[in-house]
Amino acid sequence: MKELSSLQIERLKYQPKLPSSLAGGINNLSLTEGNKTKAVKDCEQIEELFKNTYGKPVVTFKTSSVNEASPKRNIGVILSGGQAPGGHNVIAGLYDALKQANPENKLYGFLGGPSGIIDGEYIEFTSEKINAYRNTGGFDIIGSGRTKLETEEQFQKALQVCKNLGITGVVIIGGDDSNTNAAMLAEWFVKNNAGIQVIGCPKTIDGDLKNEQIEISFGFDTATKTYAELIGNILRDANSAKKYWHFIKLMGRSATHVGLEVALQTQPNITLISEEVEEKKMSLKQIVDYIANIVAKRADMGKNFGIALIPEGLIEFIPEIKSMISNLNDVLAELETDSSFKSADDNTKFETIKNKLNAQDSAVFNSLPVLIKQQLLMDRDPHGNVQVSKIETEKLLIEMVSTKLAEMKKAGKYNGKFSAQCHFFGYEGRCAFPSNFDADYCYSLGYNAFALIKFGLTGYLSSVKNLSAPASEWVAGGVPLTMMMNMEKRHGQFKPVIKKALVELNGPVFKVLEENREVWAFEDKYIFPGSIQYFGPSSVCDITTETLKLENAAKLTAV
Q: Active site residue: 206, 208, 221, 438, which one? A: 206
Q: Which of 208, 265, 195, 268 is nearest to 236 (CA)?
A: 268
Q: Which of 196, 167, 161, 200 is nearest to 181 (CA)?
A: 200
Q: Which helix (H) or strand (E) holds 168?
A: strand 167-174
Q: Can you give the C-alpha Rg of the chain in angstroms?
A: 25
Distance of CA 518 to the CA centre of its chain: 29
Contact 303, 309 (CB under 8 A): no
* CA-to-CA dists, residue 78 to 8, 142, 351, angstroms: 24, 8, 47
> Does 42 participate in catalysis according to the annotation?
no
- With b meaning 16 or more CB within 10 Å and e meaning fewer, what string describes 315-341? bbbbebbeebbebbeebbeebeeeeeb
Contact 218, 90 (CB under 8 A): yes
* CA-to-CA dists, residue 71 to 161, 257, 453, angstroms: 21, 42, 12
Phi, psi (rounded to 5 degrees) for 188: -65, -40
Q: Which of 419, 320, 336, 422 is nearest to 368 (CA)?
A: 320
Q: Which residues neighbour 307 within 8 Å (Cβ) at sequence distance 6 or greater?
A: 231, 234, 235, 238, 245, 246, 248, 266, 268, 269, 270
One-letter amino acid at 529 equals P
Q: How many CB atoms lie within 10 A of CB 113?
A: 24
How many residues can be counted in the chain? Answer: 559
Contact 464, 9 (CB under 8 A): no
Distance of CA 37 to the CA centre of its chain: 25
Q: How many CB atoms lie within 10 A of CB 458?
A: 26
The C-alpha atoms of residue 32 and residue 43 are separated, in whole angstroms, by 25
Catalytic amino acids? 206
